[in-house]
């Protein structure tokens, strides 16, 4: 009878696991490994182009970001356009840098969202 009990237990465990796997596949209960590895990215905006994709930058990086933006059209280095804007987004304070292209100024304006960090 002991053998029967062991087989019964193994069967119950196997069935439980099978149901769990089935339910997981059907309902997508547990997050997949790849979902855990890469946090969801907001679609449609490149890094720094929207509050949701703000670049985390320290003072030195911020200076680099200010100096190193190029026009997507003509690759000319962009110049600052107006003063920095400070906005609140998702409980964080972001700086919005504004740029314009000296060659196609009227057409190509660009904003860069930066989340200042210390260091």
- Strand ranges (DSSP E) for the chain? 55-57, 79-80, 85-89, 92-100, 109-116
- Which of 103, 109, 111, 115 touches Zn ion by CB under 5 A? 103
Cα within 13 Å of Cα(22), Cβ side: 6
Contact status: 101 vs Zn ion (CB under 5 A)? yes
Binders of Zn ion among residues 26 to 85 (CB under 5 A) are: 71, 73-74, 76
* Least distance from Zn ion to the Cβ atom of residue 81, Å: 13
Q: Sign of dihedral through CA atoms 11, 17, 19, 22?
A: negative
Contact status: 98 vs Zn ion (CB under 5 A)? no
Contact residues toward Zn ion (CB under 5 A) are 71, 73-74, 76, 101, 103-104, 108
């Amino acid at each position: 009878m002991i053998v029967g009990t062991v087989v019964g237990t193994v069967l119950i465990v196997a069935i439980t696991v099978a149901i769990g796997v089935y339910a997981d596949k059907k309902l997508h209960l547990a997050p997949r490994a790849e979902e855990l590895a890469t946090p969801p990215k907001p679609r449609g905006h490149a890094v720094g182009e929207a509050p949701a994709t703000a670049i985390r930058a320290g003072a030195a990086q911020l200076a680099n970001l200010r100096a190193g933006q190029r026009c997507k059209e003509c690759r000319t280095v962009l110049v600052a356009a107006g003063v920095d804007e400070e906005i609140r987004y998702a409980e964080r304070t972001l700086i919005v840098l504004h740029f314009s292209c000296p060659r196609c100024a009227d057409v190509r304006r660009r904003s860069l969202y930066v989340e200042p960090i210390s260091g």
